[in-house]
């Protein structure tokens, strides 16, 4: 009865949680940042303005588990943990960066649409 549904529209599709993680609020930003190079925890937190330690830690954990992110721990004092993208993570991040760039470039259109909507 182990059914791996490969249809994103089906509620049981196993890719749904993964898609939610990579495209989610903090996942997309973390992956986009890591697309430009590896980061240590607090550096990544400063880059992704607005994310809490908790949400970042949680997000990175999920992304690591899904095979998108590599967590390299060095036994130093103070501790040193470096995050980077796996090859898979890199492929996904490229798509995410494309999406981000498109949305950013279309924001004037979005703002117009919002004003029109709010006036109706």
Partner DNA sequence: ACTAGCGCTTTCTAAAAGTTAGTGTAATTC
Partner DNA sequence: GAATTACACTAACTTTTAGAAAGCGCTAGT
Interacting residue ranges for a second copy, rule: CB under 8 A: 4, 6, 8-11, 14-15, 18-20, 22-25, 28-29, 32-33, 47-50, 64-67, 86, 88, 91-92, 95-96, 98-100, 102-104, 106-107, 109-114, 116-118
Least distance from DNA to the Cβ atom of residue 81, Å: 4
SS3 label, residue 81? strand
* Integer Cα distance of 59 and 64 in angstroms: 9
Query: Rule CB under 7 A: is residue 42 a binding residue for DNA?
Result: yes
Q: Please report which helix (H) or strand (E) contains residue 40, including its range.
A: strand 39-40
Scored b (16 or more CB within 10 A) or e, 22-31 reads beeebbbbbb
Least distance from a second copy to the Cβ atom of residue 80, Å: 19
Nearer to a second copy, 50 or 78 (CB): 50
* Inter-residue contact 26 to 34 (CB < 8 Å): no
Residues at the contact surface with DNA, assessed by CB under 7 A: 24-26, 40-43, 51-55, 57-58, 60-61, 71, 77-82
């Amino acid at each position: 009865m182990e059914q791996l549904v490969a249809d994103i529209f089906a509620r049981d599709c196993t890719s749904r949680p993964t898609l939610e993680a990579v495209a989610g609020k903090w996942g997309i930003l973390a992956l986009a940042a890591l697309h430009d190079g590896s980061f240590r925890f607090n550096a990544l937190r400063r880059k992704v303005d607005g994310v809490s330690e908790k949400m970042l830690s949680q997000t990175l954990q999920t992304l690591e588990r899904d095979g998108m992110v590599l967590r390299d721990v060095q036994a130093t004092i103070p501790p040193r943990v470096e995050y980077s993208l796996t090859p898979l993570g890199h492929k996904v991040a490229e798509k995410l960066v494309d999406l981000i760039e498109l949305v950013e470039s279309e924001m004037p259109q979005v703002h117009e649409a919002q004003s029109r909507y709010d006036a109706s």
